[in-house]
């Protein structure tokens, strides 16, 4: 099935790179988009292009209906109790910043602590540093284990009544490690701290039920789940959202504006100032519907098989050192001591192989591992064992050149 039926749904794979068929192994950065998603967005712009929640003509009514149905699709997808707990953002980064500036900035005081692991993406570190400067709070680093994983034992020692918020990735972007989010949430709640889960990597690889998880906030980006760029989701518990002030001001997020004062709309409108990304929301809902047609266990099994085959092949190369290998993940990061990661990626690109190289927006993790960067291989639903074979052949050729 993966050789034809699924891959054929992605226009990106009709092209060649440097005269060779594209092998795309950078899905942890962004996934390619199936035709059905592209067409859903084009259909909106062709026939339903109007602003939402404004006016009374037919096109705006149709656009609003599609926009709010997309919100319901997301709510159902992650097990949210109501679509009103789903806030549209531009992506995971904006979702985190919204929580930092609307929730944390108003909840934190001098001496309070935010616990963040050193293996987090910059998007789940920098916003907390900014709000800590604004409030007098402190960002406390949770160290990693010798294997590059979240150190839960150290976390529990750092957890105290000073901690008001824990920010943790569902899965990490460098090694694909699945983090102990259930245990972290339970431990944090015992001392009254809130927990934000960055699901940017996890949402596409694991079924999420935010109510069962009991996360206070859960967020993700559309572009990592076969949906468009520029659309993201923030889920928040209804009682928390109700107490949060707006972050951005403008149209649509108000009940009444006057020069004597303004009253704000209830969530989620309170947090969605201005004209939203209607096409992006429609595209995200379409991508979710499309993705859910597949047997999730079969998809994950296939991706894990690709990772295992790649790992076994890389293990046979004496020049390759794998970083933080995680069985049953969809990501592999490696280095070649003495050779810059950019040189490796460039030689692979010359052979039509697209991989990510660099620090992966994870400077603290690179520092902890005492490396400058890695080459990262990440798989999507469209990848095949032929892709793995071409990768290994291209890497062997690159090693010979280097």
Whether 361 is catalytic: yes
pLDDT of residue 3: 59
Q: Which residue has the tokens 């059905």?
A: 36
For the packed helices 35-47 and 278-291, what is the interaxial angle rounded to 10 degrees? 150
Q: Which residues contact 329 (CB under 8 A, 6 or more apart)?
A: 171, 175, 176, 177, 178, 304, 307
The Cα 31–Cα 162 span in angstroms is 39
Q: For residues 168 and 184, is the Cβ–Cβ distance under 8 A?
A: yes
Q: Indicate if the pLDDT at residue 2 is higher than 70.
A: no
For the packed helices 58-77 and 278-291, what is the interaxial angle rounded to 10 degrees? 40
Specify which residues 116 forms β-bridges with.
Answer: 141, 167
Quick: pLDDT tens for 105-145.
999 999 999 999 999 999 999 999 999 999 999 999 999 99
Q: Would you kindly state where each structural domain of the chain is located, as residue ranges?
A: 7-25+296-401, 38-291
What sign results for the dihedral spanned by CA atoms 166, 169, 172, 177?
positive
**From the candidates 117, 163, 286, 361, which is the catalytic residue?**
361
Q: Are strands 353-354 and 23-24 parallel, antiparallel or unpaired?
A: parallel
Specify which residues 356 forms β-bridges with.
Answer: 376
pLDDT of residue 1: 54
Please name the fold of domain 38-291: 3.40.640
The residue with greater pLDDT, 203 or 3, is 203
The Cα 31–Cα 7 span in angstroms is 13
What is the percentage of the chain residues whose pLDDT exceeds 90? 91
Q: Which CATH number fits domain 7-25+296-401: 3.40.190.10, 3.90.1150.10, 2.60.40.1730, 3.40.50.620?
A: 3.90.1150.10
The CA radius of gyration of the chain, in Å to the nearest whole number, is 22
SS3 track for 280-326: HHHHHHHHHHHHCCCCHHHHHHHHHHHHHHHHHHHHCCCCCEEECCC
Quick: pLDDT tens for 155-178.
999 999 999 999 999 999 999 999
What is the percentage of the chain residues whose pLDDT exceeds 70? 99
Q: Indicate if the pLDDT at residue 192 is higher than 60.
A: yes
- Distance of alpha carbon 397 from the chain centroid: 33
With b meaning 16 or more CB within 10 Å and e meaning fewer, what string describes 309-344? ebbebbeeeebbebbbbbeebbbbbbbbeebebeeb
Which SS3 state, helix, strand or coil, does residue 340 take? Answer: coil
pLDDT of residue 4: 76
The Cα 314–Cα 323 span in angstroms is 11
Quick: pLDDT tens for 262-288.
899 899 999 999 999 999 999 999 999
Per-residue pLDDT, averaged over 215-223, amounts to 98
Is the pTM value of this prediction over 0.85? yes
Band of residue 325 on the pLDDT scale cut at 50, 70, 90:
very high
């Amino acid at each position: 099935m993966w050789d034809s039926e699924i891959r054929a749904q992605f226009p990106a794979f009709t092209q060649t790179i440097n005269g060779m068929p594209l092998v795309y192994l950078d899905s942890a950065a962004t996934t390619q988009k199936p035709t059905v998603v592209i067409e859903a967005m084009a259909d909106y712009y062709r026939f339903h292009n109007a602003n939402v929640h404004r006016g009374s003509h037919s096109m705006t009514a149709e656009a609003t209906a599609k926009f709010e149905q997309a919100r319901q699709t997301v709510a159902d997808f992650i097990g949210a109790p109501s679509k009103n707990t789903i806030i549209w953002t531009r992506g995971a980064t904006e979702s985190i910043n919204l929580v930092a500036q609307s929730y944390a900035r108003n909840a934190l005081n001098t001496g309070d602590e935010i616990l963040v692991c050193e293996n987090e993406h910059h998007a789940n570190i920098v916003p907390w540093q900014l709000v800590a400067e604004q409030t007098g709070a402190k960002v406390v680093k949770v160290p990693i284990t010798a294997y590059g994983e979240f150190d839960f034992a150290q976390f529990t020692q750092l957890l105290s009544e000073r901690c008001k918020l824990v920010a943790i990735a569902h899965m990490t972007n460098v090694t694909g490690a699945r983090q102990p989010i259930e245990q972290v949430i339970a431990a944090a709640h015992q001392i009254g701290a809130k927990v934000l889960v960055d699901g940017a990597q996890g949402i596409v690889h694991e079924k999420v039920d935010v109510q069962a998880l009991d996360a206070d906030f859960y967020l993700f980006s559309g572009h990592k789940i076969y949906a468009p760029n520029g659309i993201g989701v923030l889920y928040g518990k209804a009682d928390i959202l109700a107490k949060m002030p707006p972050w951005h001001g403008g149209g649509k997020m108000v009940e009444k504006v006057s020069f004597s004062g303004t009253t704000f709309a209830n969530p989620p409108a309170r947090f969605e100032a201005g004209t939203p990304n209607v096409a992006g929301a429609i595209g995200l809902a379409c991508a979710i519907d499309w993705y859910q047609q597949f047997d999730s266990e079969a998809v994950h099994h296939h991706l894990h098989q690709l990772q295992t085959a790649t790992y076994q092949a890389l293990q046979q190369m004496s020049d390759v050192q794998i970083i933080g290998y995680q069985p049953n993940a969809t990501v592999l990061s490696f280095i070649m001591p003495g050779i810059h990661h950019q040189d490796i990626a460039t030689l692979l690109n010359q052979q039509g192989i697209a991989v990510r190289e660099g620090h992966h927006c994870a400077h603290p993790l690179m520092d902890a591992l005492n490396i400058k960067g890695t080459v990262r291989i990440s798989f999507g639903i469209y990848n095949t064992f032929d892709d793995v074979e071409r990768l290994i052949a291209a890497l062997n050729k690159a090693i010979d050149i280097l």
